[in-house]
Amino acid sequence: MNVPLQALEQLHDAFETVAPADRIAVIVPCYRVASTIAGVLQSIGPEVWRIYCVDDASPDETLALLRALAERDPRIKIIARRRNGGVGAAVMGGFRAAVRDGAAILVKIDGDGQMNPAFVGQFAAPILSGEADYVKGNRFFALEPVRQMPVARLVGNAGLSFLSKLSTGYWDVFDPTNGYIALHADVAALLPMNRIHPRYFFESDMLFRLSTIGARIVELPIETIYRDEKSNLSELRCLATFPLLHLRNFAKRIFYNYFLRNFSMASLNLVLGFLLLLFGGLYGVLSWIESASTGDPATAGTVMLSALPFMTGIQLILNFLSYDIAMTPKAAIHPRIGGKRMLVSAGSM
């Protein structure tokens, strides 16, 4: 949908009068998107209050083109970064500016044309209705586009999705790297934006940060438009770095949610399960080595002394995971924290 120039000119006097609770701001990180950014911005509908275009020190003509487009559309605000900091850093810069200016809903889309701006209103709707704090796209609802994806991408996404479930605690969320997202400004204000990963891991890192404050997430089916553009994201780099980052976030989430903030039977299940699993495994391995070196078969008592703690440990850890799944946030928090941003902070995480 291309908005007519006349309609955009009429917004010049009207967009500042939008009610604060309905102010939808679109954040567009821009890097090497000179060939596509005009079409993206011209397709953003009049329901959007402001558009924050963050030029991440793009070496092409992106910034000059943004300035020309801003002269035609008064909603466009340009943030020009002197140095390239990564897509995550660019998005956080746009979030900070939108929150500071009084936006209510923050919607992030990319500037490469792969995300249809016509869906901005649909992504904002669950937040405006109080159903969700954070809305994200999911490319895997429809089967036909999934069948067209390479097997390697499907397997890789499934693996990353499982790691994301572990590290964030959002067990009902899939497609963690999907970048079409919407967030309530009051919830965004609670996030330690300076600590969120500055590059492509930022979507997964945001999910982890949201889990520490109990934000409610809703997924919407979305179709991504793939053209001839070359992604700046290296799949090999993802395989090398993302698992370690997920492991770090998993350890931090468990410590914060089950030991620092709270201590429950789930915490005991996790500790005892881990110790029993470790004891049973180590004892079994050492007994097997001794039996192999002496040629004497292990006794039934030795086998049970290894197997019983090991199986009990697995059961306790499964109990913990069951509790963790049940604790996935079911209600939005922004209706309860509006105007109280200073009382809750995840900045130490």
Contacts (Cβ under 8 Å, ≥6 apart) of 143: none
Which phi and psi angles does 83 have, rounded to 5°? -125, 150
Instruction: Map the chain to HEC letters.
Output: CCCCHHHHHHHHHHHHHCCHHHCEEEEEEECCCCCCHHHHHHCCCCCCCEEEEEECCCCCCHHHHHHHHHHHCCCEEEEECCCCCCHHHHHHHHHHHHHHHCCCEEEECCCCCCCCHHHHHHHHHHHHCCCCCEEEEECCCCHHHHHCCCHHHHHHHHHHHHHHHHHHCCCCCCCCCCCCEEEEHHHHCCCCCCCCCCCCCHHHHHHHHHHHCCCCEEEEECCCCCCCCCCCCCHHHHHHHHHHHHHHHHHHHHHHHHHHCCCCHHHHHHHHHHHHHHHHHHHHHHHHHHHHHHCCCCCHHHHHHHHHHHHHHHHHHHHHHHHHHHCCCCCCCHHHHCCCHHHCCCCCC
Rounded CA-CA distance 268/248 in Å is 21
Distances from the Cα of 160 to the Cαs of 49, 191, 243, in angstroms? Answer: 34, 23, 8
Q: Which residues of the chain have pLDDT under 50?
A: 341-348
Spatial separation of the C-alpha atoms in residues 59 and 10, rounded to whole Å: 33
Q: Which two tokens stand for residue 46?
A: 């009049």
Q: Could you give the CA distance from residue 8 to residue 279 in angstroms, rounded to a whole number?
A: 68
Burial class (CB in 10 A: 0-12, 13-18, 19+), 151: exposed
In 3D space, the residue among 166, 207, 201 whose CA is nearest the CA of residue 187 turns out to be 207
Distance from C-alpha of 70 to C-alpha of 66, rounded to nearest angstrom: 6
**What pLDDT does 301 receive?**
86
pLDDT at 5: 54
pLDDT, tens digit, 9 for 90 and up, residues 174-201:
888 888 999 999 999 999 999 999 998 9
- Residues 277 and 259: their CA atoms lie apart, in Å, by 20
- Domain 5-246 belongs to what topology? Spore Coat Polysaccharide Biosynthesis Protein SpsA; Chain A (3.90.550)
pLDDT of 347 reads 45
The pLDDT of residue 320 is 97
* Residue ranges covered by each domain of the chain: 5-246, 258-343
Question: For the segment 227-274, what is each residue's pLDDT rounded down to a tens digit?
Answer: 555 555 555 667 778 999 999 999 999 999 999 988 999 999 999 999
What local confidence, expressed as pLDDT, does residue 344 receive?
A: 42
The arrangement of strands across the sheet holding 76-80 comes to: 76-80, 50-55, 24-30, 105-108, 181-184, 134-138, 217-221
- Write down the pLDDT at residue 4: 58
